[in-house]
A and B are shown apart, each in its own frame.
Chain A
Amino acid sequence: MPEHEDRSRPDRLDEALARLPQEVQPEHDLWPGIAAALPKTPARRWRYLPLVATVAAVAFAGLLAVQLLLPEAQDPTLAPTQTVAELPAEFLAAEAAYRQVRAQRVADLADQLEQLSPETRASVERSLDTIQSALIELRAALGEAPADPVLQHLLLSVYSQEMAVLGQIDQATQVVGDGSIEI
Chain B
Amino acid sequence: MVKAELDLDREESAYLERARNGDTLAFEWLYRRHVGRVYALCLRMTAEVTLAEECTQRCFIRAWTRLGDFRGDSKLTTWLHSIAINEVLGARRASGRDRAVLVSVSDEERDSAIVANDAGDEMDLERTIAKLPERARHVFVLIAIHGYTHDEAGALLGVAEGTCKAQYHRARRLLAERLGHSAGESMHA
Choose one: B21, B173, B188; the contact of A12 (CB below 8 Å): B188
Choose one: A3, A8, A24, A31; the contact of B40 (CB below 8 Å): A24
Assess the B68–A37 pair: CB atoms within 8 A.
no
User: Within 8 Å CB of A9, what residues of B?
Assistant: 176, 180, 188
Stretch at the interface among A40-48, A66-74, A111-119: A40-48
Assess the B49–A27 pair: CB atoms within 8 A.
yes
Choose one: A13, A17, A26, A38; the contact of B35 (CB below 8 Å): A26
User: Within 8 Å CB of A25, what residues of B?
Assistant: 35-36, 39, 117
Assess the A20–B35 pair: CB atoms within 8 A.
no
- Interface membership of B61, Cβ < 8 A: yes
Choose one: B28, B32, B36; the contact of A24 (CB below 8 Å): B36
User: Within 8 Å CB of B49, what residues of A?
Assistant: 27
The smallest C-beta distance from B104 to any residue of chain A, in angstroms, reads 20
Assess the B21–A26 pair: CB atoms within 8 A.
no
Please, which residue of chain A has its CB at the minimum distance from the CB of B125?
A: A16
A-contact 0/1 string along B21-50, CB 8 Å cutoff = 110100110011001110110010000010
- Interface membership of B167, Cβ < 8 A: no
- Tell me the bound Cα distance from A128 to B64 in angstroms: 37
User: Within 8 Å CB of A8, what residues of B?
Assistant: 188
B residues lining the A interface (CB < 8 Å): 17, 19-22, 24, 27-28, 31-32, 35-37, 39-40, 43, 49, 52-53, 56-57, 60-61, 64-69, 116-118, 121-122, 125-126, 144-146, 172-173, 175-177, 179-180, 187-188
